[in-house]
Amino acid sequence: MSLERSGNSGEAIEEVISRMVQKTTNGLYQSSALLQDGGITHGFTSKMHGSMINELQRNAFLDRVGLQSHALVWAEQNHGTTIHIVTPEDMGKTIADVDGFVYKKRSGIEEQPILAVHVGDCVPLLFIDQTKDIIGVAHAGWKGTKDHIARSMVRSFLRLGSDPKHIMVVIGPYIHACCYAVTEERAMTFEREFPGSRGIVNRFGTFWYIDIGNAVIADLRSAGVLSTHIDKNDQLCTKCHDLEFYSFRRKTEGFGEIMGYIGYTKQI
């Protein structure tokens, strides 16, 4: 489908150079940039791992990839912008009414928390500042994106001593503009929230489409994150790839969700 810009004459979003989120042999989608550091575990699940909102399927997946369910910090998401600063005491807990986690690695601890979010079309985000040993995850639906959860995540990193130029963000599979038709009212809301940014609000004939992943990128760039530190694969639309991902918009079968997670590997 060919999409037209709605008419905003502002400058284009700076091109994201690192587009390296790829499927691995175990069915996970991972960023090669993060795989360069052997101390990090991360990924985005796919349908082959089951629905991550099903605790039994989630625990079976964690066991399969060598992760411990008691180390996972799970979110009871509400499409907001609340960010929870994780402590080791949060391991194994479900935190209510949050859509993002941030954690600074603690020395002298054998097992660190694994942070996770779950999505069925929304944008799963992984964050890391390797210079300060800070990691984070966020769930960005249209509401959270519109309310700038990406900026909130960067601010949380800054409170823990990070510099935005050292933060890397990996954008996982989500519903892209090709499939995300919205009302004109919602499209105009995004026009107002992201003025001057191209590739977010699009029009095809009389129909409006938005790309919430591009809106996230605009927020990250405005918060000082370098374009070369944003990792995204433009082909990973959850609605298009029905064999790979669950999609609330498609919903041709029992609805499920994938998981995005990041953590530090266990120190032996």
Q: How far apart are CA 146 and CA 140, in angstroms?
A: 9
Q: How far apart are CA 160 and CA 87, in angstroms?
A: 13
User: Beta strand pairing status for 123-129 and 134-140?
Assistant: antiparallel
Q: Does some domain include residue 188? A: no
Average pLDDT, the chain: 89
Residue 187 has pLDDT above 80, yes or no: yes
Tell me: the pLDDT tens digits for 65-91? Answer: 999 999 999 999 999 999 999 999 999
Q: Does some domain include residue 170? A: yes
Confidence of residue 102 (pLDDT cuts 50, 70, 90): very high
CATH, residue 131: 3.60.140.10
Cα 166 off chain centre by: 18
Cα 153 to Cα 162, 182, 249, 263: the distances in Å are: 11, 26, 27, 16
Indicate the range of 22-31, 111-120, 185-194 predicted with least confidence: 22-31
Number of folded domains that form the chain: 1
Q: Does some domain include residue 1? A: no
Q: How far apart are CA 97 and CA 153, in angstroms?
A: 15
Q: Does some domain include residue 204? A: no
Give the model's pLDDT for residue 36.
67
pTM attached to this predicted model: 0.90
Tell me: the pLDDT tens digits for 7-50? Answer: 443 333 344 433 468 888 788 999 877 766 668 999 999 999 99
By percentage, how much of the chain surpasses pLDDT 70? 89
Q: Does some domain include residue 9? A: no
Domain span including residue 87: 18-174+212-264
